[in-house]
Amino acid sequence: MIKTHIVPLLDVVRETHDTTTYRFRADIGGEPGQFVMVWIPRQDELPMALSYLGPVKGVTVRVYGDATEAFTSFRPGQRIGIRGPYGNSFRLEGERVLAVAGGVGMASLIAPIEAFSHQGARVTTALGARSAKDLLFVDRAQSAGEVHVATDDGSRGFHGFVPSLSDRLMDRHTFDQVVTCGPERMMKLVVDSALKRNLKVHASVERYMKCGIGICDACALDDRLVCADGPVFSGEALAASEDFGRWRRDKSGRRIPV
């Protein structure tokens, strides 16, 4: 018996021009911030954060290669493989949370945003994207709390990068905890900034993966594994990391710049 759940897609929802959500039913549990390995038959198997928890789960992915491109042509009823959920999760630590998302990083952060709000926390979201048309899950974040938007081109909200926006929010308001997901250099700015203010901060890190279960070493971050020890790491751990914000591994295991 294989432990991969082969499930039909229930719904395929185009979120933005390049980002799609795939919904499926799988009785596998799942905590906010955890990921699953998604087998797109004949294409690839890729790690994806759960963007929807609950009985009908979901993953939300931006097209960034052949497999994710081919995935967009999948229709409800077509089957995919799901194994997991894997990794650790975001935990609520306090009453006032700042969530800082960059681009499709929002796919990882929306589940914790909703979960924290549901647990009674006051959640403020700083959501950044290249342009207004790239903004993801604005409505869901608004239902969970306050939302501030930043776009690189100024087409909506704050004109600039989201770390500048989150810096302003950290200056003006009191938070107990910061959570972030997005491009690594962006997260590094947010982590450094939060640590400077003595705020608890956690970031969800992304790496190329093969196994997802802590053995293949493809997702090594220093001597930790993103799949098994992460994907969520504390700001202190990331500040001490030689790799975070600087180095990752390619498919052969070569160390290359982030």
Minimum gap (Å) between residue 235 Cβ and other proteins: 20
* Smallest separation, CB 217 to other proteins (Å): 4
DSSP string, 55-82: SEEEEEEE--SHHHHHHTT--TT-EEEE
- Per CB under 8 A, residues contacting other proteins are 1-4, 6, 37, 39, 41-42, 44-46, 79, 81, 83, 210-211, 213-218, 220, 222-225, 228, 249-255
Place of tokens 């700001």: 235
Minimum gap (Å) between residue 207 Cβ and other proteins: 12
Cβ distance 112 to 32 under 8 Å?
yes
Evaluated on CA atoms 218, 222, 228, 230, the torsion sign reads negative
Q: Taking a C-beta distance cutoff of 8 angstroms, is the pair 237, 231 a contact?
A: no
> Cα–Cα distance between 59 and 160 in angstroms, integer?
28
Minimum CB separation of residue 46 from other proteins in Å reads 7
Closest CB 218 distance from other proteins, rounded Å: 7
Cis previous bond, 85, omega within 30: yes
Query: By three-state DSSP, how is residue 166 classified?
Result: helix
Q: How far is CA 20 from the centre of its chain?
A: 14
Residue closer to other proteins by CB (options 175, 244) is: 244
What is the smallest separation between the CB atom of 213 and other proteins, expressed in angstroms? Answer: 5
Burial of 95 by CB count in 10 Å (0-12 exposed, 13-18 middle, 19+ buried)?
Answer: middle
User: What's the CA gap between 93 and 252, in Å, rounded?
Assistant: 38
Indicate the residue among 81 and 94 with the shorter CB distance to other proteins: 81
Phi first, then psi, for residue 231 (nearest 5°) are -75, -10
Nearer to other proteins, 37 or 50 (CB): 37
Nearer to other proteins by Cβ, of 6 and 13: the residue is 6
Per-residue tokens: 72: 């967009």
Do the Cβ atoms of 35 and 90 come closer than 8 Å? Answer: no
Q: How far is the CB of 245 from other proteins (least distance, A)?
A: 16
* Closer residue to other proteins in complex, CB, 2/139: 2
Cβ closest to other proteins, residue 54 vs residue 76: 76
